[in-house]
Every structure is written in structure tokens, then in C-alpha cells.
Amino acid sequence: MTTDPNLDSPRTAVSNPPVQPMQANLGPGDVVRASAMPDLPPPTRELTPVAKLIDVSKCIGCKACQSACAEWNDTYPEIEENVGLYENPHDLTPDMFTLMRFSEYENPQTGDFEWLIRKDGCMHCADPGCLKACPAPGAIVQYSNGIVDFIHENCIGCGYCVTGCPFDIPRISQKTHVSYKCTLCSDRVAVGQGPACAKACPTQAIVFGTKEDMLAHAEARVDDLKSRGYDNAGIYDPQGVGGTHVFYVLHHADQPSLYSDLPEQPRISPVVEGWKGVTKTLGLAAIGAAAVGSVLHGLMTRANKVSAEDEVHAEELVSGREPPIPPEREVL
Amino acid sequence: MAKRMFSAPGDHIESRRPVTVSRYRGITRLNHWVTAASLIVLLLSGLALFHPSLYFLTGLFGGGQMTRWLHPFVGILLFFSFLLLFLQMWRLNLPRPEDRTWVSHIGEVVRGEEEKLPELGKYNAGQKFVFWAMSVLIVVLIVSGMMIWQEYFPHLVSIPVRRWAVLIHAVAAVAIILTFILHVYAAIWTRGTIRAMTRGTVTGGWAWRHHRKWLRELAGREGGGPAE
């Protein structure tokens, strides 16, 4: 159960690449949703949903995932100043699709000092806010295996994905003017490989496989944590966005915000829903109605024409035969 | 000379037989058409990003990236261009008592029966509505537009504020397009109006019929005596 080429997607990230040549196994026929393309043809097949599980309790903060990510995606995050924080770079950037975020937490129950390290990056929502907000046809796609991917040649750099995302993930490059984020290594998954970060993780805090397998694994991890005294350990797979294809095991699942402001109940903002829903539909309808209404009024009523009489009046007025100041007609 | 109440500097009787009246100076017309052209570019480029069915309009500007780049700059052009128009026109667009009467007879206005309508200065209540709607909406659009200008102001406001900005921008854009349709249609339907913004003049009859107080003031300023 590793990289069988007959499988529709890899079941693990740890195995080595297949030695035989392999066709890319993720293509246009696997797209279930695409931005600004409401009439997308249905996918030609249904892939097994995949997921990346990040077990925060196992993370040692080594940043091997970040290095692997930059290496695989061939990005060169800018070298920054050390400002006394472990985060490096300071935030997700167009060249850094994943970031270890470090928070220091003094647990009031135990008095323990806890170092909560969360690998931040795209969550690959089942209901992606970026895709909903995007105005460019086909710039954001969702495959039937759950991966949400940016198709850069269709991106126009408007930043609407930033507005739509409930997790503050996409970053627009000031050089290329397109948006970047974690692809869940869709290009690796297409050829039977798990994501680079999962492959590089030395503690298996990041694991990859089918969503079903990953959920089972996560549950086992939660049980283990509970047996070790983490009573609030749990899975973060937020249903507000339909569940996610990158999800966490947290020791404090009751307080996700402890982990560098992981949203408590993420969902696509109602403001974004209103903008992309009723505003778009009603707005276009109102504009259409106004345009058609004007044309109909123009065709069905007589235009307001100046009469010859009006011209005579004007001449009389201008030549002084009618007093310029009207006899009390002003007040009506 | 008496203070102008109903007319703008430059408005004058241009010829007496037949009567033609100068309504807009060349500079004002140029200003109007720059504003109009930018509004049309904004409307087309904005609609392209507003609804997927209109995305093809990006082709007019050289694709999606170019449309995204161009739209905000044209917005700035529109803002300043309209500001100049505003400074020239705001005084004569202040509401007056006869506007109320005009609005209460709006049915007759639409039917083109102007006999019972009050005499009006340079603008009627409909024109004033268009003027103030444009003024308010352009301010709303430029402010909300700055907040979502990704290329230059990516961190001007927080993401939650940005969500409101993009919604308000869309709603205001729909409103300004409706105002624009009203403006264009009214100018076409009221025959003899468009030449005020092309040639700069209207016929005496047009002025008598629609803006009699304005015409009276101009006639009074010319001395009111016979031309020759």
C-alpha cells in the first residue's frame, strides 16, 4: 500500500518515488469546482479524498517541512531580520507556502509552560472561500480528491481570494502579481507522491493519506493524548467550511485560538457570501431591468420634444417682448 | 452686473434669431467627457470582475491582469475629473422649493407634459438627483476601492474590513450604473439635451420649455432689449 500506480492517489508520504514512469494522475477531468465557472462540466471520475494530518503534539518545530516546501516548490523566501521570534519568515509569503508558528502558553490548570507549534498553511477547505470569491474563471480549482489549487496562468492578482479565505492564507506576489499558497503538492500527488512537508517530517507529525485513514489515525492519536492527561485533545477538522483536507490533532482542541489564532469556528464570512450571492444576482438583474426598461420607455412613449411654440416664446423673451421676470408664476 | 442665481459663469444667450443659449463652456464639456469616458471604462472593467458571465469584457483591456491593473487608476482619474465638475456645478444643484413641486408632478414629467410644472433654474430635481447620487457614490467607490487595491494597499485595512469594503464597492457600483443609465436615458429622451454637452448650446425653445428661470436670468442679463 505505498505507491501502486493503479491507485488514484498516494496513500502515504513516506515511500520513495516509483521507479517506473508514471502519467500525471490529476487533470482537468478531476476538477469538481472552478472559480467563476458555474457551468463546469462534471468530473469524469471520482477520486478518493486525501488529507494531510498535522499532529501538533508531535511537532518539534524543526522547520524541515518549510525547507522541503521551499525546495520542492523552488521558492526562495527573502532573508529577513531576526526580531527575536522563532517564526522565519515572519509570515506566510508568496515564496513561503507553509510556516511554523510558535506560541508560548502558560497552562493555568497545570502551571506548565507549553510551546505550541503549529504548521500554518492552506487548509484545503471542502467549501473554499478563496474559490467562491475569485472572479477569474479557472484560477482556483478544487479536485475531487479535495485539493484546492491555484492555476497561476488564470490568476489576475486582484486579491479577492485573500478577502474570501477564512484562514488568511493566500499571498499575492508583488513581482508576478499572482496569488500563491500551499498546493498540497498536487504535482507530487499526481504522480503517486505525498506532499514534500510530510515526506520530510522527522517525527511523522505530518502524515498524508486518504482522509478516511487520516481520520482513523487522528482518532488513535487523540486517544493516546487523552491517556496521557490531555483531556481536551481532539481533532480540528472545522465543519463550518465543510471539513478540511489539511487538519490538525490539537492537545487543546477546546481552544484552537491558543495555536497562533487558529480560528475557533471558521466559515466563509456572511459578508463574502452576500457579496458573491445576492449582490451579484440582484445587482445584475437591476442593471438589466433598468437598461431594458429605458429602451421600452423610449419605444413606447413619445419623446419629450421642444415645440415651435417654445421657440417663439424664447425669441419673445430674449427680444424683450416678454418681461424677463415672470408675473408671480414662480410660486406654484 | 446682478448676481447669478440660476446660471453658471459663461452661460449666455449666444444668438437671438433663432435663439441659442450657451449652456456649457468648452472646458466643462471636456471635463464632462473625460469623466464619462472614465466611468464607461470603469463600468466595463468592473462588470468584468463582478460576474463570471461578463468576464469576457476583460478582452477589451488586454486580459484579466490588465483589467485588474487598469481599473483603480481610471477610478482615480474619474475621482479628480468629477471633483472638477462638482466644483463647477454644486451650487446650482442645491435643492430649491420648486424641486419639491417638480417631484410631486413626476408623472407629468415622465409623460412629457410640462405645462403645470414650475419654472426651473439650470437644473431640475432629476438632474440634481443624478448629480448628488454621482457625488456620494463616487466618494464611496473611491474610499472602498482604495481598501481593496491589492497592488498598492494590500494592508491598508484588516481582512474583515476588506470584506465589507468589497461588498460596499459592489453595491455602490450597481447604484452608480443605475444612475448612469438614468442620466443617459433622460438626456436622450429629452430631445435637444445632448447638444448641450457636444456643441455646448441649446435652443431657446429647449431652455424655455425645461429651464425657464435660467433662460429668464440670461435674457435679463443681456439687457432684454432688441438685438439690433
ipTM: 0.92
CB A256 within 8 A of CB A236: yes
Q: How far is A216 from chain B (nearest CA, A)?
A: 35
A159 at the B interface (CB within 8 A)?
A: yes
B195 at the A interface (CB within 8 A)?
A: no
A302 at the B interface (CB within 8 A)?
A: yes
What residues in B contact A36, CB-CB < 8 Å?
52, 55
Q: What is the pLDDT of residues A54-91, one digit of tens each?
A: 999 999 999 999 999 999 999 999 999 999 999 999 99
Which residue in the set B16, B220, B227 is minimally distant from A324, CB to CB?
B220
Which residue in the set B170, B181, B192 is minimally distant from A283, CB to CB?
B170
Nearest C-alpha neighbor of A149 from the set A173, A181, A197 = A181
Low-confidence residues of chain A, pLDDT below 50? 1-2, 327-332
Which residue in the set A137, A304, A330 is minimally distant from B52, CB to CB?
A137
> Can you give the length of chain A in residues?
332
Q: In this predicted structure, what is the pLDDT of residue B225?
A: 45
Q: How far is B203 from chain A (nearest CA, A)?
A: 7
Q: How far is A196 from chain B (nearest CA, A)?
A: 30
Q: In this predicted structure, what is the pLDDT of residue A1?
A: 39
A160 at the B interface (CB within 8 A)?
A: yes
Q: All 3 cell numbers of residue A99?
A: 510556516
B164 at the A interface (CB within 8 A)?
A: yes
pTM above 0.95, yes or no: no
Active site residue B169: no
What CA–CA distance (Å, rounded) separates A208 from B56? 40
Q: What is the DSSP string of A2-57?
A: ---TTSSS-S-SSSPPPSS-------GGGEEEETT-TTPPPPSS-PPPEEEEEEGG
Among chain B residues, the shortest Cα distance to A35 is held by: B52
Q: What is the DSSP string of A244-265?
A: BSEEEEETTTT-GGGTTS--SS
Count Cβ–Cβ pairs < 8 Å, chain A vs chain B: 191
Q: How far is B52 from chain A (nearest CA, A)?
A: 5
Q: In this predicted structure, what is the pLDDT of residue B64?
A: 97
What residues in A contact B212, CB-CB < 8 Å?
326
Domain layout of chain A by residue ranges: 28-268
Mutate to test the interface with A, among B45, B114, B216 (most CBs of A within 10 A): B216
Domain layout of chain B by residue ranges: 26-103+115-198
Residue A158 in marked binding region? yes
Nearest C-alpha neighbor of A163 from the set B136, B156, B53 = B156
Name the active-site residue from B71, B183, B210, B211: B183
A311 at the B interface (CB within 8 A)?
A: yes
B167/A315 Cβ within 8 A: no
Q: What is the pLDDT of residues B111-147, one digit of tens each?
A: 878 878 899 999 999 999 999 999 999 999 999 999 9
What CA–CA distance (Å, rounded) separates A20 from A309? 93
Half-sphere exposure of A232 (CA within 13 A, CB side): 9
Residue A154 is classified by DSSP as: G
What residues in A contact B111, CB-CB < 8 Å?
301
B226 at the A interface (CB within 8 A)?
A: yes
Does B2 have pLDDT greater than 80? Answer: no
Q: In this predicted structure, what is the pLDDT of residue A21?
A: 82
CATH top-level class of A28-268: alpha beta
Residue B3 banded pLDDT, cuts 50, 70, 90: confident
Which residue in the set A272, A290, A332 is minimally distant from B181, CB to CB?
A290
Average pLDDT over residues B38-67: 97
CATH top-level class of B26-103+115-198: mainly alpha
CB A81 within 8 A of CB A42: no
CB B17 within 8 A of CB B226: no
CB A87 within 8 A of CB A102: yes
What residues in A contact B107, CB-CB < 8 Å?
none
Amino acid letter, residue A151: I
Beta strands in B18-131 (DSSP E): 19-22
Q: What is the pLDDT of residues B163-198, one digit of tens each?
A: 999 999 999 999 999 999 999 999 999 999 999 999
CB A323 within 8 A of CB A330: no
B49 at the A interface (CB within 8 A)?
A: yes
What CA–CA distance (Å, rounded) separates B95 from B91? 9
What residues in A contact B216, CB-CB < 8 Å?
317, 324-326
Q: How far is A39 from chain B (nearest CA, A)?
A: 10
